[in-house]
Amino acid sequence: MAPKKIMVIDNEEGLCRMMEAVLLDDGYAVRSFTDPREALEFFRPQVWDLVISDIKMPGIDGLEVLRQIKEREADIPVIMITAFATVEMSIQALRRGAYDMLTKPFEPDELLFRVRNAISHNELREENAHLREELAEKFNFSAIIGTSSSLQKLLEKVEKVAVRDTSVLITGESGTGKELIAQAIHHNSARRNKRFVAINCGAIPESVLESELFGHKKGAFTGATVDREGLLQAADGGTLFLDEIGNLPLNVQKTLLRFLEEREFLRVGDSTAIKVDVRLLSATNSDLAAEVSAGTFREDLFYRLNVINLHLPPLRERRADIPLLAAHFIARQNAAFGTNILGLSDEARQAASDFDWPGNIRQLKNVIEACLTIETEERISLEVLSQFIKIDSHGLPGADYTEALANFEIDYLRQLLRETDGKVEEAAQKAGMNMATIYRKLKKYGLKKSDAW
């Protein structure tokens, strides 16, 4: 890693050289200036990691140096040095954007301590900015894969819903991407800089679900040895996503309803109400209206949650998106494991598009990952794909899939050998396969070069 670059500005040459020597010994790249005008001429944005400047200097004082540097690069940390530190001067420097103040005389250790803090702070700021950019890209609506009309209509609705602070109920089969839509809503809303907290209501035992959501007071029940903050309080200012909300027990439904109506709740065992500002998003793969009719879900809560309904279509209703999603998952696996699978073969792409995918996008993702672990060719073949999903014989009457595939491969291999005069290396190149695969398939079907004629 390249050393951090520090610009030092001080009209006292001896102090300038001392700071330069201390910082160089600590592994920094340093350039010192005794003339602030020369330093400003030399300064370029995105080149330096830190500036250290004296305040009292002839010609141009340190506050003017600070102003001009911040004008060119607002985020760069600047440490100001002074022998005449006053509260007023410190406030003025900090208001103008100084990161820290250092009072003369100072020891080398103090200088290094302040410098390390300033650079660490800047690195953390840059890391957070990078993470925010990654999140914005990941949860941008254009990053949600698919061109089908049903998905595009849904995303248009999601984009409008994101900016309005209303409750949203996301419905759809398991694996359709309900949490991804909830995250997209959060990261495109005014709450994006606060927490997104998710909980699967079907994965937590009923006995502890209320405590998980609302928290509890010490002694509220056996095992409650300390006060505990619930997920609702943890999401204050942000978004709480309740997945599989149809699994909420009736007593928890009642408490949640009170929160939605009054924006306050009681922790288990507490008598003091807690107010929080949280947007609630929920999701279910069940028919909540039917559960209301059956008496297992409160009607008043259902209407509170279902202010806006977003229904995610299953993958079988957006077949045109299957090849796009498969290509996306293949690219992600290639990046993660350094592989270079080019995509699905034509036959595998057609079979994947024809398959109903009862587990939806989640199942497609898992199948693609499984295929990539065993595929030896440049593209995922029909043979490999068929090990993970049931594939129809594609119009071959009376033939089961295994037999149909075998007949196809035998005919194809014979044709390859015929066209290349039995030369296996040429046959492999023509088919886009490696020689080992050709030999393996010849052995599998008991074929010889002479069988081509």
Do 352 and 420 fall into the same domain?
no
Give the N- to C-terminal CA distance of the chain in Å, as an integer. 63
Q: Give domain status of residue 259, yes or no.
A: yes
Q: Please tell me the predicted confidence (pLDDT) of residue 306.
A: 93
Q: How many CB atoms lie within 10 A of CB 449?
A: 15
End residue of a domain, out of 391, 417, 435: 391
pLDDT of residue 31: 93
Residues 289 and 178 in one domain: yes
Helices and strands (DSSP H and E) totals, the chain? 19, 16
Do 339 and 447 lie in one domain? The reply is no
Domain carrying residue 63: 5-134
Indicate the residue type of 263.
R
pLDDT, tens digit, 9 for 90 and up, residues 268-294: 877 788 889 999 999 999 999 999 999
Tell me which residue of 314, 313, 320, 312 sits closest to 146, measured CA to CA: 320
CA atoms of 24 and 161, how far apart (whole Å): 54
Q: What are phi and psi of 205, to 5 degrees?
A: -55, 145
What is the count of structural domains for the chain? 4
- 245 found inside a domain: yes
Tokens of residue 298, six digits: 């409160």
Q: Indicate if 152 and 202 belong to the same structural domain.
A: yes
Q: Which residues pair with 371 in a beta bridge?
A: none
The helix/strand/coil state of 274 is: strand
pLDDT tens-digit profile of 167-199? 999 999 998 989 889 988 998 889 988 999 998
Residues 444 and 378 grouped into a single domain: no
238 is a domain residue? yes
Q: Is the same domain home to 166 and 245?
A: yes
Three-state SS for 304-347 is HHCCEEEECCCHHHCHHHHHHHHHHHHHHHHHHHCCCCCEECHH
Residues 13 and 123 in one domain: yes
Other CB atoms within 10 Å distance of the CB of residue 231: 19
State which of 86, 105, 134 marks the end of a domain: 134
Compute how many other C-beta atoms are within 10 angstroms of the C-beta atom of residue 55: 23
Beta strands 228-229 and 215-216, pairing class: antiparallel
CA 71 to mean position of chain CA atoms: 33
> Are 337 and 250 part of one and the same domain?
no
Same-domain pairing of 349 and 414: no
3-state secondary structure of 440: helix
Angle between helices 424-431 and 435-444 (to 10 degrees): 110
Do 307 and 320 sit in the same domain of this protein? no
Altogether, the residues listed in the chain come to a count of 453
CA distances from 174 to 240, 243, 285, 347, 370 (A): 20, 11, 6, 27, 20
Instruction: Tell whether 139 is covered by a domain.
Output: no
Residues 362 and 373 occupy one common structural domain? yes
CA 116 – CA 158 distance, rounded (Å): 44
Instruction: Report yes or no on 330 lying in a domain.
Output: yes
Residues paired with residue 81 on neighbouring β-strands, in sequence order: 54, 102
140 is a domain residue: no
Euclidean distance between CA atoms 197 and 429, whole angstroms: 52
Cα distances (Å, whole numbers) of residue 233 to 41, 211, 213, 281, 385 = 51, 12, 8, 15, 46
Answer for the pair 32, 8: CB distance below 8 angstroms, yes or no. yes
pLDDT computed for residue 300 by the predictor: 94
Q: What is the pLDDT of residue 399?
A: 42
Q: How far is CA 399 from CA 16, 406, 414, in A?
A: 86, 11, 21
Residues 120, 125, 129, 135, Cα dihedral to 10°: 80
For residue 419, what is the domain's CATH number? Answer: 1.10.10.60
Edge-to-edge strand ranges of the sheet holding 100-103: 29-33, 5-9, 50-54, 78-82, 100-103
CA 304-307-309 angle, to 5 degrees, is 125
State the DSSP code for 190.
T
The CATH number covering residue 343 comes to 1.10.8.60
The phi, psi pair for 354, rounded to 5°, reads -80, -20
Among residues 134, 159, 188, the one where a domain terminates is: 134
Q: What are phi and psi of 236, to 5 degrees?
A: -50, 125
Same-domain pairing of 337 and 256: no
pLDDT at site 94: 80
Q: Is the dihedral angle over the CA atoms 154, 157, 163, 169 positive or is it negative? A: negative
164: in domain: yes
The answer to whether the beta carbons of residues 419 and 387 sit under 8 Å apart is no
Under a CB-based contact definition with an 8 Å cutoff, are residues 66 and 97 in contact?
Answer: yes
Domain for residue 89, yes or no?
Answer: yes
Residues of the chain with pLDDT under 50: 135, 394-399
